[in-house]
Structure 1
């Protein structure tokens, strides 16, 4: 698991190769990732949007931006956490993602960015 704290918010990531949804013969590799967001601030925060940077090991790169995460814009109270699972498809056996969440301090309406740590997505057969 990879974790990072920025702006009082801890983001932790775990990845899982999805063999049943992948087709290596067609260069399709599917990964799931579980993200846990913990609010260590003294105020509640609302997650407004996400911005991902996705890299394949063949040098290709793409960005994904959008509102919320998995269709939600959760409010996370002080000392609470929010967890979700999503996925990413790659064209190679190895990739990397990192990004940011745009969040709001519910008390003073201040908008700020929280870093999502870089994490690798590696098919199990590449470890051999």
Structure 2
């Protein structure tokens, strides 16, 4: 698990290779990632959008942007957390992702970015 804290917002990520949905012979590798966002600040915040950079080990980079996460724009009171699971397809058995969430402080509407820590996606048979 990797974790990063930005302005009191803790983001933790765990990944898992999905062999049942992958086809290495066709250069198709599927990973899921579980994210926990914990509001350790003293302000109520809302997650507005996300921006991802997805890197394959063949040098290709994709960027993905959109509102919220998995169709939600959660509001987090101090001490609350939000967890979700999503997925990523790669053309190689090794890759990485990183990004940021755009957050909004509910008290005054101030917007700020929260880092999503860089995490690796590696098929288990490549780790030896």
- Confirm or deny a common fold (TM above 0.5): yes
1:58 equivalent in structure 2: 58
TM-score (ref. length: structure 2): 0.99
Aligned length: 128
2:77 equivalent in structure 1: 77
1:99 equivalent in structure 2: 99
Q: Which runs of 5+ in 1 are unaligned?
A: none
TM-score (ref. length: structure 1): 0.99
**Partner deviation per Cα, 1:21-41 (whole Å, 9 max, x = no partner):** 101010000000000000011
Q: Give the C-alpha shift of residue 43 in structure 1.
A: 1.1
C-alpha distance in structure 2 between counterparts of 1:107 and 1:124, whole Å:
45
- When the two chains are superposed, the root-mean-square deviation of aligned CA atoms in Å is 0.5
Structure 1 segments of 4+ aligned residues over 2 angstroms from their partners: none
Describe the SS at the equivalent of 1:20: helix
Q: Which runs of 5+ in 2 are unaligned?
A: none
